[in-house]
Every structure is written in structure tokens, then in C-alpha cells.
Amino acid sequence: MGGKVTCTLGEVKQRADFIIYWGGNPAECHPRHFSKYTLMQKSKFLPKGRKDRTMVLVDIRETKSVKASDIFLQVRPGKDFELITILRALVKEQQVTDEQIEETGLSREALNDLVSRMKAAKFGCMFFGMGLSMTRGKHMNSAALLTLAAEMNAFTKFVAMPMRGHGNVTGADVIMRWQTGFPFGISFNRGYPRYNPGEFSTIDVLVRGDCDAAFIIGADPGGTMPQPAINHLKRIPTIVLDPHITHTSKLARVHITTAAQGIAAPGTAYRMDEIPMPLKPALKSPYPSDEEVVRRINEAIAKKPFWLPEGSMPQMVTEQV
């Protein structure tokens, strides 16, 4: 996500008068997004709150979020990339044929109207969900939308932000970037981090059967991944850390129950705009925290010999440099 044009939700709350949700259903998946950050809040710059803001929803079907929107654009499934590309062309007043527009399931008037509204906005923000980033085109769709946001800055202030779900996935990105330089899909098998999604991403690794042990924490691939990946998890020794006995725990060799983050375990979680939030656990769990268990596993492994054959230790920045 290097070079992404973005901002914090605080700025959106204070300034964004034009909001696009693309491929997401915040009304049901992020219920307080509208009220807390994007639509309902009044601010110095938007004193009338909701009335000062325009909300556009782009999705392949009508969801509960449509009710909250001013304009709903129903894009044909799998045509998000085409639609974004057409918008990028229209913004720059380049030629787009009727057939190209028709392919997306939308009309030229609707798109011209959208483009003129985008240009007229004082502060535009596009939120994109899994409907964009997990369907045909995947990260190319996100990249195209981020480019559109960047290009809009020739006319007005425009930003884009992914709608992250699933607890602290944003934190996982941030921590991996901080520790390794890469956000996900990392291999340390040469002694230094390398990044190659598709080769080192979990589904691919499991389906090919590339790994010979798995350590699963704060996730349940046994309930969500394709069957060949689950079959491989069954074949190899799998270790699970979770507050519950999950699908994955049932096929694992080792399960350790841990305290639930934010409820019984303290720590930090990242909001979707990459703002870290301290957690305030209310309960005292009979179980240890994830942090403690992983640290103790690390200590137990540190007592064992290093994994490379003797003499081929990579040059590491340690005491004996």
C-alpha cells in the first residue's frame, strides 16, 4: 500500500463532504461507521452533519446500506475494474465508448453526474470493502481505486481507505511492515524476509502442501479455507491458539486456550485507518494471553539449536558481530 492517498477517520468526520462506499455493506458489517465517522457527525466544516454530506454506494447488489445512501450505483459483478478505469478516463475528459460504459451496467448520465459531483466536492473519501478487493481483479481493483483517488487530487482533495474487518487485521499489516518491511506473504527461509504473495500466501502454501507445520493464532482456517488447504492442515502438525475450541483446534495436534483480546487480554489494536487503540480488558481470564504464550514458545525454541546447519548461519545483527 505504499504511496496510498489516505487520511484518518477523524479527518473524514471533520471534513469529508463526499463519501463513496465501494463493494462493502457498512450498515451490517461496520454498524457504527456511518454514525461515528462518516455520515451523521456534525463538525466545524460540516455544521449540518448528514445534510452537508453526500453518500454514494457502489455495489453489485442492494444491501441494507442502500437506505443510508443518496446515490446507489449497481455495478455488474466482476466489472469494478472496468468501472474505475472508465471513471479515471471521464475525470480526465478522455473518450469512453457507449459499449464500454454499457459493460459495467451503468449509464453515461449516472457516471457523468458522479464525476461532476466528485470534482465539486471539497473533501472526497472512498472506502472500499471486500466486494472490491476480494473479487475478480483483487488487489488490481484496490490499486485502480487508489490511483483514481490520487488522480482526483488534480481537482480537489480526495482520499481512499480500505474497510478492514476481522478484529485487528490492520494491526497485523502494520506490525509485519514494521518488523519485516512487508505487510503479509513473507518467507524467512533464507534467513531474511522475502515477500511474494501467491508463493508465500497461506492458501497457496497449504494447497500446494509446501509447509510441514502450521502455527495458527487468532484465525480459524479450518472453518473458512478451501478443502484442499484444510486437508493439508490435517496432515501436518498444526498448533492453534484461540479463546475457543475452533474448527481448526479439532484437527490440530496442539490447542492452547488463550484470553480474548480486549475482553480479558490487554494490549493494542489498530483501527482501519491505522490508528493504534489501547485495549481496556474488563475480565480476568483463567487463561494466559496470546502474547504470553507465543513469547514462551519463542523462549523454548531459543533454547534449541538454530535451524541452519552449522557454518551456514546467516550474518545476523547480534551481539557477536
Q: How far is the CB of 292 from ligand SF4 (least distance, A)?
A: 25
Look up residue 135 and give its DSSP letter. Answer: S
For cell 471534513, name the residue: 15
Nearest to 35 by CA among 46, 44, 27, 45: 27
Q: How far is the CB of 19 from ligand SF4 (least distance, A)?
A: 17
Please count the residues of this chain forming the interface with ligand SF4, following the rule CB under 6 A. 3
Q: Is 30 in the site for ligand SF4 (CB under 6 A)?
A: yes
Nearest to 240 by CA among 232, 231, 230, 250: 250
* Contact by Cβ (8 Å): 162, 272: yes
Q: How far is the CB of 106 from another protein (least distance, A)?
A: 28
Residues written for the chain: 321
* Contact by Cβ (8 Å): 201, 226: no
* Contact by Cβ (8 Å): 125, 55: no
SS3 50: helix
Q: Name which of 32 and 138 has its Cβ closer to ligand SF4.
A: 32
For cell 519485516, name the residue: 180
The packing angle between helices 108-120 and 80-91, to 10°, is: 60
The secondary element (H helix, E strand) that includes residue 124 is strand 123-128
Q: Name which of 39 and 144 has its Cβ closer to ligand SF4.
A: 39
What residues pair up with 123 in beta bridges, in sequence order? 157
* Contact by Cβ (8 Å): 11, 164: no
Please count the residues of this chain forming the interface with another protein, following the rule CB under 8 A. 107
Q: How far is the CB of 46 from another protein (least distance, A)?
A: 20
Q: Name which of 9 and 91 has its Cβ closer to another protein.
A: 9
Interface residue with another protein among 201, 208, 228, 234 (CB under 8 A) is 201
Q: According to CB under 8 A, which residues from 152 to 191 bind another protein? A: 163-176, 179-180, 183-191
Interface residue with ligand SF4 among 32, 138, 253, 295 (CB under 6 A) is 32
Q: Name which of 31 and 209 has its Cβ closer to ligand SF4.
A: 31
Q: Is 10 in the site for another protein (CB under 8 A)?
A: no
Q: Is 78 in the site for ligand SF4 (CB under 6 A)?
A: no
Q: Is 31 in the site for ligand SF4 (CB under 6 A)?
A: yes
Interface residue with another protein among 120, 154, 245, 313 (CB under 8 A) is 245
Q: According to CB under 8 A, which residues from 250 to 309 bind another protein? A: 252-257, 260-272, 276-280, 282-291, 293-298, 300-302, 304, 307-308
* Contact by Cβ (8 Å): 249, 231: no
CB atoms near residue 147 (< 10 Å): 17
Which of ligand SF4, another protein, none interacts with 175 (beta carbon under 5 to 8 A by kind)? another protein
Cα distances from 260 to residues 127, 198, 302, 312, in angstroms, run 29, 31, 27, 40
Q: Is 166 in the site for ligand SF4 (CB under 6 A)?
A: no
Report the half-sphere exposure of 181 (CA within 13 A, side-chain side). Answer: 7
CB atoms near residue 282 (< 10 Å): 7
Residue span 228-267 as binding mask against ligand SF4, x where in contact by CB under 6 A, dash where not: ----------------------------------------
Q: How far is the CB of 166 from ligand SF4 (least distance, A)?
A: 11
Q: Is 143 in the site for another protein (CB under 8 A)?
A: no
Contact set with ligand SF4 (CB under 6 A): 30-32
